[in-house]
Chain A
């Protein structure tokens, strides 16, 4: 109840002159923290999407390139593909693994780009992160703000790598993106094996490419 009182009183405190927020600039980390990474990349990409006339008028190729260049260097596709394929991943040959990860990568670029264009006008809020120095996995919580509804939770799961933190799953409103694909993938593997799954991904990517020039 205490925090509720604070919230009700907050508008009065807001009338006080605000202290310049330069604390962030003074802190220089050798490596970017996972929440700072998510915020920087999201802000950077949304800024471009909101300003670029070609992207706004539906230039799919341009937004795909943007996601590929700015967002996806921070994603770990092998990890994501392994999670999405589930138990059957260990049965795949290295060659199959590589091709699966490549096709899944293409599919995710499109999914991510579609989400970005669909929600570009919405505000994003970043939740504070508690991270212990020894943590190698973490969840960065953000929220998509929308008028008249509860903000949609958009959470990134990240893992620590030698060259910085990498995303291996994204959950929208509590539903995991990788988990969403897992059902479809395992059904296909059961019916037609790893090669069947590979074909399903290739076909889906071709179909999306044809429909979204």
Chain B
């Protein structure tokens, strides 16, 4: 973990933007803003594709896609709930996977939610937060976007254990699944973006505010 933070520090050092920000959690604001504009540039390509996907995919199909990936995600969510000491939530997540993988036809229907087994949202960054690891500086990464130092590490762990990426023998299936999941994820942000437009005076600041407060709330399960 230490080595990982060193890598981040070196990366930030190389970019030549040490301590430029005025926000206490955002000491590398100069670097971050540069990455933010790179991402906004990349998004001029991704966003229209996501908009096309949103227009072309009927709502019931999107529900099925969302449920399918949600079911796969519940396995790791369950592990994180156990790691955070939330035993009941962890068992509830296992129940969700069992119910949805069988009665829910491989996860495309979310019967577990109908039964009152709530969907949760946990990741390794939140687990570290519950364990008392400080969030560290706010960072904005190309492609993956905002993450604190702690959540960047957490994201690395989430990424490493991602079951979809572990499909080894069928590259076409794996890549299609990753592609659809990414597109669905981006398409979901389209709604939030419409609101962000009127809720922000400086998009970078607003995203930082939403991210930092949103993560703090998620760790306390107030989201």
Contacts and interface: CB of A to CB of B under 8 A. Distances in A.
A183 B209 contact: yes
B21 interface: no
A200 interface: yes
B12 interface: no
B115 A11 contact: yes
B119 A114 contact: no
Contact-residue size bin, chain B (C-beta under 8 Å from the other chain) = 35 or more
Contacts of B7: none
Interface in A5-44: 6-8, 10-11
Interface in A156-194: 173-177, 179-181, 183-184, 188
Interface in B137-182: none
A83 interface: no
B27 interface: no
Interface stretch (B29-37, B41-49, B60-68): B60-68
Contacts of B197: 114, 208
A175 B198 contact: no
B195 A114 contact: yes
A107 B87 CA distance: 44
Given A111-B195, A118-B191, A173-B217, A4 B59 contact: no
Interface residues of A, number: 39
B2 interface: no
A148 B88 contact: no
Task: Count chain A CB atoms within 10 A of each CB in B69, B117, B119 and give the residue with the most.
Answer: B119
B222 A153 contact: yes
A152 interface: yes
Contacts of A184: 200-202, 205-206
B121 A150 contact: yes
B119 A200 contact: no
B214 interface: yes
Nearest to B68: A148
Contact of A148 (B67, B116, B202): B67
Given A10-B116, A200-B201, A148 B69 contact: yes
Contacts of A119: 191
Interface of B is mostly: helix
B119 A8 contact: no
B88 A4 contact: yes
Nearest to B184: A148
Contacts of B210: 175, 180
Interface string B184-198: 000010011011011
Which residue among A117, A175, A180, A200 has the maximum number of chain B CB atoms within 10 Å of its CB? A175
A118 B194 contact: yes
A200 B202 CA distance: 11
Contact of B213 (A4, A115, A147, A174): A174
A147 B67 contact: yes
A204 B223 CA distance: 29
A188 B201 CA distance: 10
Interface string A91-129: 000000000000000010011001101110100000000
Contacts of A179: 209, 213
B65 A148 contact: yes
A114 B198 CA distance: 8
Contact of A7 (B63, B66, B68, B117): B117
A166 B95 CA distance: 40
A175 B62 contact: no
Contacts of B206: 180, 184
Contact of A150 (B63, B95, B223): B223
Given A174-B217, A175-B209, A184-B202, 4 more contacts: A7-B92, A147-B62, A180-B199, A180-B206
